[in-house]
Amino acid sequence: MRFIPLIVARPEVQMAIDEAIMRARIEGKVPDTVRLYAFSPSSVTIGRFQSVRHDVDLDVAGKLGIPVVRRITGGGSVFHDEFGEITYSVVVGEDYHPALRNVEESYRYLAGPLVDALKELGLDAGFSGLNDIVANGKKISGSAQTRRKGVILQHGTFMYATRVDVLAKVLRISKAKLSDKGVSNIWERVTILEREGIKLNRWETYELLKDKFSAAFELEEDQLTDYELELAEKLIEARYGNPEWNEMR
């Protein structure tokens, strides 16, 4: 698989690149691809079907200069702290491995390197539900995927030093969701590496994740093609940089 080294950019750029890779892969123009990236400035991405009004506190986001971008994938809202999380994405043909045919198994297969990383750090880590990863019983990572024409795009977050107080302020997490998980507030549900006693910076986290993804998928470092960059530019205009898309629900 191709590996695209860390890209730090705005949320509309990151979301456009993920979709551009998927489109190019569907057209057979690029190989299966793993990449790691970080958001700058700190951003919120919301799931394909989420309601901006219900699920994000837009006043807080506005005051803190946090852009809000809608993903192509379903699932929930994510706070991508500029210096507190790394996002991964994998674009892969469904025929790469038998585990990819089943949605539940595919989440675990593709996000497996994150669990490997947490275990190497000495944490009790594993999957929870469909798409979450927990460390010492609390959520530290979530993933989302879409499937089109035999190709999967899965992306997800890995929190090493996310400011959970900012996360709690900017995301509107419904009471129904928290009480369903048997907890009354976000602090009981979410954790970060730092809170588990492990202090890593962006580069250390990046190198650890890169190692674990390389071990799982045999990666070869390369860069995005001109075709993907052109597609990404069009997608920023048509979708991820466009209020019509971001505020559609």
Query: Where on the chain is the footprint of another protein (CB under 8 A)?
Result: 47-51, 54-55, 72-77, 103-104, 129-131, 144-148, 174, 176-177, 180, 249
State which residue, 104 or 220, has the beta carbon closest to another protein. 104
* CB of 107 vs another protein, minimal distance in Å: 8
Query: Do the Cβ atoms of 34 and 219 come closer than 8 Å?
Result: yes
Among the listed residues 200, 98, 29, 78, the one whose alpha carbon sits nearest the alpha carbon of residue 89: 78
C-beta atoms surrounding 5 within 10 Å: 12
Both tokens of 114, joined, read 């994150």
Query: Torsions phi, psi of 25, nearest 5?
Result: -70, -40
Min CB(122)–another protein separation in Å = 29
Task: Using alpha carbons, list the distances in angstroms from residue 184 to 173, 178, 190, 235.
Answer: 11, 6, 12, 39
| Rounded Cα gap, residues 168 and 163, in angstroms | 9
Residue 45 or 205: which CB sits closer to another protein? 45
What burial class does residue 128 get, using C-beta atoms within 10 Å of its C-beta: 0-12 exposed, 13-18 middle, 19+ buried? Answer: middle
Task: State the nearest-atom distance from the C-beta of 87 to another protein, in Å.
Answer: 17
Task: CB nearer to another protein: give 43 or 143.
Answer: 143
Question: Which contacts of 135-140 are long-range, i.e. CB under 8 A and separated by 24 or more positions?
Answer: 135/191, 135/193, 135/196, 136/191, 136/196, 138/188, 138/189, 138/190, 138/191, 139/189, 139/190, 139/191, 140/190, 140/191, 140/192, 140/193, 140/196
Instruction: Work out how close the CB of 133 gets to another protein at its nearest, in angstroms, rounded to a whole number.
Output: 15
Residue closer to another protein, measured from CB, 5 or 74: 74
**Closest to 85 (Cα-Cα) out of 14, 33, 141:** 141
Q: Which is nearer to another protein, 171 or 219 (CB)?
A: 171
CB of 207 to another protein, least distance (A): 31
Shortest distance, position 78 Cβ to another protein, whole Å: 10
CB-wise, 49 or 83, nearer to another protein? 49
Nearer residue to another protein within complex by CB, 47 or 209 = 47
Least separation in angstroms between CB 22 and another protein = 13
